Structure formats: structure tokens, C-alpha cells
Structure 1
Amino acid sequence: MAALSPELTFEAQSSFGPGNGITVDVSGPTAMLQVGDCVVLDRANEDLVEAVQITSINGQQLTLGTTAANVPNGVMFEHAAGCTMETGLLITEKRYLPKNRSEISLAKVPVARIVGGTGRYGYGRRGDQASYNTDNFNLLASLMKFGGPPAWEIWPANTAAGIEAETGQVWVPAGIMLAYYSEIKARYVAGFQYSNLPSVVKMACAQIITSLAALPPLGNVRMYQAGDTKIEQFTASLFGEDVKAMLGPYARGCSHEFVYLSAHCDGQSTGLGPHARVHVGLQRRGTG
């Protein structure tokens, strides 16, 4: 997931599920939601936790479900009254589609599951406007002129044939106008399961843990000087060149920068105890 703390939290007023297209009365700031947003249900209960998409909003009523072709129920489990619904825990990315193309590349890989996707139409810039997916002289143009920004619509996001898990390539189907969207939002989960976490990632995490344990709160230190106290490190962080080299194959984007990576270390194989773990954060420059 993308975060440990939710952005918004809602609470169900009655029990619901399982099923698709289920309407639930909730308490919370529903005005801050959009159709297509995804929520995590009952996160504190590992037997019931699941992620679903909001397909409709009517006041304090939310309709939960899925449009994915290969998932029978949007809500898979039965949830009691008081069930928490939290946003901001999934990875959310907004992408502009290339002209007349239906593929995008997600930043975090491997892609485990796309929970929900939305798209909307817009117009190209300058010389592209006359030859864009939809022309300037139709009902859509009138709605955009007088009705504000185009509305987001939901597309079937979890079709297995349209997702390349290792590369992050996703095929986005055409929308209601039978033309490709101008921009889309994808909400998804990415990463490795503990059972198949690459050994080199475990080793890199172990080295970072060892540095933190040996020299708290400092690591990667090249020199200590007692007189006129001085501490000199090899680099400005715990990520030395060897650790960067280990994590390099799992980075996306520019070859000399790193993207965000989250991993748990196998404490037993490193001698650091069964509960040893590290949260590795690597952010590509310019991505915020």
C-alpha cells in the first residue's frame, strides 16, 4: 500500500456485504470523495480487510462494488456496523494518455492488483485540438463549455489480460464515447509478497539495519574524531554505493536515481531476530 495513515475515515452505520453494488450509509465527509475512489474496509481485522471501489455517491450513501470483469463481488466479506472505510492507503496515480493510444505505465512494480480506475475526456493543446479523440463540434464540447470540467467515469480496471505486472504497463479500454480517454486515474497495490521477496533486497535491508544497530542513530560513518569532535560519513545517508547497487534493478525511471521501495527484512536469515524489519524509502528526484 502507499501509506500507513489514511487521508479520510468513514464508518458504516449498518452491516453490509457480500455482494456487488451495495449501498451503505456512512458517517464522515463524503463531500470530499469522488466516484471511482477506493476505500479499505476493516483494516484492523486481517480476516476481513479488503479494498473496494466507490461506484456512486448520494449524500451520506456510498455504493461499493467493482466493474472488473473477473471479480464476481465487489465486497467479498460480510462487514458489521461500525466497519471503517479509509481512503489514501492505496497507490493512486494520474496519467495522461498519449494521443490515440490506450497504454500507460505505472510507476510502482510489480503490480499486484488494480482496485479501481477512472478516466475522462478532454481536448488536446493548440494544433492537436482539431484531430483529437473527439472533435470540437459535438455534445461533449457543449457540456465542457457550459458544464465545467469533464466528469470521471469508471473503467474495468482489473482485467488480467490488460496488466503487465512486472513492467507496469496497463491497457486502458475506450470509454463511453468509444474513444480513448485523455487522462486516467489508477488505484492499485504493488510490491512483493514476503514469500517471494528477492534475496538481494533482504540483504540490502539487513545492511541498513546493521548500520542503524551498530551506530545509532548514525551509520555509514568513515571517521570519528574525538578532539574537536568530528564525524565524517561516506555519503549523506545510509544508502551507500553497495546498497544502491543492490536495489538498482528494482528502480524505475532514471538510471542514476531511485524510486520509492518498501521491503521487510527476513530477520532470521540475517541474525537480527525474527521481527527485524526496515522501511526503505527511495524517491526519484523531481517526483515529490
Structure 2
Amino acid sequence: MTVTESPVRSPAAPADESSTLRVADVSWSADGTLIVDGVSLAVRSGTLTGLLGPNGAGKSSLLRAVGGTNRPDGGVVRLGDDDLLAMRRRDRARRVAVVEQESTTDVPLRVLDVVLLGRTPHRAGDSDEALALDSLDTVGMRELADRDWHTLSGGERQRVHLARALTQQPRLLLLDEPTNHLDIHYQLALLGFVHDLGVTSLAALHDLNLAAAYCDEVVLLRDGRVAAAGSPRDVLVPEVIRDVFGVDCDVHPHPRTGRPVLTFSPLSG
């Protein structure tokens, strides 16, 4: 199976109402500078929400706050009825999986060993390796299971990290620029796969057109605050893009899907 196909059996846990993410008034500072400023958002169970904004808007910092890597200065993060910030790290890791922009190690590992790290929060079982191989199959990387991790390209590593996250069997998937290092084929395939996975997902994305094509909802950040939130059709409009990104924008319906397609140009006048 390749990432371009629909998986026969998803290795991730099925979503239900207990998998709705609610972030309320979350703030986070670094060295006295407020990076995330009172952000509130919701991600409906089983849907993909894109976290958008200019460089320095606070996208990665917010993801780390939601995932518990950065302890927020204030606010609440709930997954269903669970208070994620009040949990022990291991308990949170049974519910939340993170795919970061860059993650590497000097330790010599096989690809399969990296994917098996997704089972760390869980009690070891006889099915762990089968689950890891299933995840690799899902992202089109099973044939590389015995390869040395350090021999992989950046794009291959990103797909392996997604397989590791799926092996974790999360209820919430957090992705920080997941299409980095991927060619256009795998950019489309990966986001299409995440969208169809049925796991509540929040993804920081740089490419507005990818977000428009695959996200159910988008949240646009500016200076650590929510500037706009809603469907791609409602948020990715010329006046909002001009205000937040400082560029002119034309929006047209995609000829096949009808979703917004954006073209950009420098501000006129």
C-alpha cells in the first residue's frame, strides 16, 4: 500500500466525540516575550484543521503548548473531557502524537526501530511490530523497514515520522509543517491521507493552497493571536490575506474540486 491510496485498516485509533480538541485562552512566553497570546480554538472530532500565519506568528509555539512540550502560562487544553495539561507525560502521549518539522538522532537505528518508538507510551505487546509495519505500509515505506535511518532523505524521514505517530494510536495528531522536504506528489498524498484518516488533527502549514485544498477548517494567527478562523472559503479571502500577510491575493475555484485556489502579488499602490 502507498500513501496515495486509502488505507484498508488505519492503525490509528478511531475518532469520536471524546476526540474533539478545545483550546481556551492559551498563552505562552519565552524570555519575557509573549509568543502565544490568549488563543482559543476548536478542532472537531475526526477533522483536519490548518494552523496558518506568517513566520513568527506563533504556529509552532502553539502546537508545542497544546502538546504539552511548552507549558503554557495560562489557559486550558481539553481533548474531549480530558485536561491534557494536567496529565502525566506518559498518559498524554497515549492520546497525542506529534510530528515535528525536524527530528534526528545520532543513535544508529533502523527505520522500523524509529517507528516502534511510537509504542513507548503503551505497554509492550506481541502486536507492536505488526502495528509498526502496518503504519509503514500505510505511508508507503514498508520496503525500507530495515534501512538505516541515517540513509533516508528528508522526505522519507518525514513519512517515517508520520508512521511513528500512527503507531502511537493517538486520538489527536499534531503536525508541524508536515510537508517540509516533500515533493509535490507526497505533499498532496500526505495531506490527503491525514484528512481521510479520521483522527482529530491540527497541522501548522506554510502553504495556503495546500491548506485550502485539504483542511476542513483553518485558524489564521498573527502576532500570536487568532486573526480569523473558519472554513477555507470564509477565511482565505483577499481582504484577510492582505491584512495578515501584506500581499494582494486573487481567489478562484479549483476546476476539479471547487476549493479555493490563491494567487499572490505584491501590494499595489
TM-score bracket relative to the smaller structure: under 0.3
Structure number having the greater helix percentage: 2
Comparing both chains, which one has the higher relative contact order based on Cα–Cα distances under 8 Å and sequence gaps of 6 or more?
2
Q: Which has the larger radius of gyration?
A: 1
TM-score normalized by the length of structure 2: 0.26
